[in-house]
Amino acid sequence: MSKQPAKTSRRRFIQAAAASSTFSIVPPHVLGGPNHVAPSDTFGAALIGAGGRGPGTFRDLSGKHGLNIRKVAECDVKWVGKCDNKTRYTDFRRILERKDIDIVAIATPPHWHALISIAAMQAGKDVVCEKPMTRFIAEGRAVVEASKRYGRVFQIGTYGRFGMASKKENREVRKIMLGGFARGREVRYVHRGGLKVGMWSGPINVAPKPVPEWLDWDLYCGPSPLKPFQPPRFGGMHRGYWDYDGGGLGDMGQHKFDPLSYLFGKDVTAPVEVEASAPPAHPEATGMWGWVKLKYADGFELVIESGEWGKPTGLPSKRIRRDDLNEQEKQKLDQRPDPEPLIGFGEAVKTRKQAGGHAEAAHRTVCIMHLANLAIRTGRKIRFDPETEQVVGDELANRLVNQPMRAPWHL
């Protein structure tokens, strides 16, 4: 395939020009002002994964994130025979070669999220990636390291933590949890329902069909195993297969648990014990489950009830507040700094600060879902080390923590 000629974005050109003494007169349309948007404030953007949620993800760049963007290109594997390789592509790698793209919105199925995010940041792009952040745990750590290494802004496509952080009482709970005041106390959050478990239970024994002529099935499968084409594996029902996603937890988990990760101060750690109530899991298709209990090192317990199978735990939520502390603890709490304000993706891109849903926080949230699915799939209690990000004493489970990828794809 021919390589896209290198181009310089208007934003980067103006930034370079501003640093040069050879430019003494700059017209108003370049600097901005009344009725003018400076090119330096306009960002070239591309969408990878143009179906389903994709257009909405891209619109969020100018809407929710308040950026002045120029759509430069888009990409989807279902456009075989319909691409000009100038504005429309089937292969995301050709988009990432372009120098006129500053921001990439990723809305592919989750088995592609990590590799495309890493490649985009390596190519100098800032990234908004749809949820769930990754398909398995080791991918998340690789995305975190890439964000650090290449100095790029990363934001996962869920924003519940911003609403959570807007309330003073929630920020105080976070401060209490980060201060370690929950240790030795019973603190629990029980989440009930809303995870679409039955909806995204994958169909099995589906007859293979010929690959549609408009679909690059090999590239769609990418790092996942190349299986015969079955219609449910493509489109929304891909969520029901372990090759591409994690069922209802994959679809809704990051939305539901990201605000809780913020509230209970779990952005830099993960559960240490996980157990689930579920029937034996199918090796390829996601299925039903009843509940999952996840316990952290400080004793905090997150309980997830599907509400769609089996009996509920009957456990109550138990919050911790300032009134639960003794006077000495309150004094120590008051000496701790308040939680820092969360910065949205748009502001982070302009200021080069860390976005509120940054890679580390998103990774720790998605670990909740992955560990829950690990307990569901293995049918046994999982003991997890948040530092090494490995299951303790269970090599079979660790194969699901860091899953093999189909060559030539690799982390």
CATH code of 138's domain: 3.40.50.720
Assess contact for 13 and 39: CB atoms under 8 A.
yes
Does 361 share its domain with 391? yes
Assess contact for 183 and 195: CB atoms under 8 A.
no
User: Rounded to an integer, what distance in angstroms lies between the CA atom of residue 397 and that of residue 399?
Assistant: 5
User: Rounded to an integer, what distance in angstroms lies between the CA atom of residue 377 and that of residue 400?
Assistant: 9
> Which of 158, 175, 191 is where one domain is finished?
158
Does 19 share its domain with 131? yes
Tell me how far CA of residue 365 lies from CA of 33, 51, 128, 264, 384, in angstroms.
Answer: 41, 25, 16, 11, 15
Does 306 share its domain with 190? yes
pLDDT for the residue 41? 85
> Which of 127, 158, 189 is where one domain is finished?
158
pLDDT for the residue 352? 96
Assess contact for 105 and 47: CB atoms under 8 A.
yes
Q: Does a structural domain hold residue 221?
A: no
- 303: phi then psi, degrees, rounded to nearest 5: -115, 130
Q: Which two tokens stand for residue 12?
A: 């980067």
> Where residue 252 sits, what CATH number does that domain have?
3.30.360
Q: Does a structural domain hold residue 320?
A: yes
Does 174 share its domain with 312? yes
* β-pair partners for 104: 46, 127
Tell me how far CA of residue 335 lies from CA of 195, 315, 320, 324, 326, in angstroms.
Answer: 39, 34, 18, 17, 15
Assess contact for 288 and 279: CB atoms under 8 A.
yes
User: Rounded to an integer, what distance in angstroms lies between the CA atom of residue 182 and that of residue 176?
Assistant: 7
DSSP 8-class letter at 15: H
Does 62 share its domain with 168? no
Assess contact for 295 and 273: CB atoms under 8 A.
yes
Q: Which two tokens stand for residue 169?
A: 């009482």
Q: Does a structural domain hold residue 15?
A: yes
Does 56 share its domain with 123? yes
Assess contact for 374 and 246: CB atoms under 8 A.
no
Does 55 share its domain with 186? no
Amino acid at 84: D
Instruction: Using only the alpha carbons of the chain, give its radius of gyration.
Output: 23
Q: Does a structural domain hold residue 210?
A: no
* Tens place of pLDDT per residue across the chain (411 aa): 434 444 445 455 434 443 333 333 443 333 444 444 455 689 999 999 999 999 999 999 999 999 999 999 999 999 999 999 999 999 999 999 999 999 999 999 999 999 999 999 999 999 999 999 999 999 999 999 999 999 999 999 999 999 999 999 999 999 999 999 999 999 999 999 999 999 999 999 999 999 999 999 999 999 999 999 999 999 999 999 999 999 999 999 999 999 999 999 999 999 999 999 999 999 999 999 999 999 999 999 999 999 999 999 999 999 999 999 999 999 999 999 999 999 999 999 999 999 999 999 999 999 999 999 999 999 999 999 999 999 999 999 999 999 999 999 999
Please give the order of strands across the beta sheet that includes 42-48: 88-89, 68-75, 42-48, 103-106, 126-129, 154-156
- 188: phi then psi, degrees, rounded to nearest 5: -145, 145
Number of domains in the chain: 2
Give every CB contact of residue 20 below 8 A, 6+ residues apart in sequence: none
Please give the order of strands across the beta sheet that includes 301-305: 188-192, 301-305, 291-295, 273-277, 382-385, 390-391
User: Which structural domain, as residue segments, surrounds residue 109?
Assistant: 10-158
Does 126 share its domain with 274? no
User: Rounded to an integer, what distance in angstroms lies between the CA atom of residue 316 and that of residue 186?
Assistant: 11
Q: Does a structural domain hold residue 225?
A: no
Q: Does a structural domain hold residue 321?
A: yes
Q: Does a structural domain hold residue 117?
A: yes
Does 364 share its domain with 289? yes
Question: Which SS3 state, helix, strand or coil, does residue 304 take?
Answer: strand
Q: Which two tokens stand for residue 350?
A: 């302009």
Amino acid at 177: M
> Which of 158, 193, 223 is where one domain is finished?
158
Does 61 share its domain with 176? no
Tell me how far CA of residue 336 lies from CA of 164, 175, 264, 398, in angstroms.
Answer: 20, 8, 16, 37
Q: What angle do CA 56, 59, 61 make, to 5 degrees?
A: 125
Assess contact for 232 and 285: CB atoms under 8 A.
no
Angle (deg, nearest 10), helices 137-150 and 359-378 = 170
Q: Does a structural domain hold residue 233?
A: no
Does 121 share its domain with 171? no
Does 154 share its domain with 169? no
Q: Which two tokens stand for residue 206?
A: 């589906």
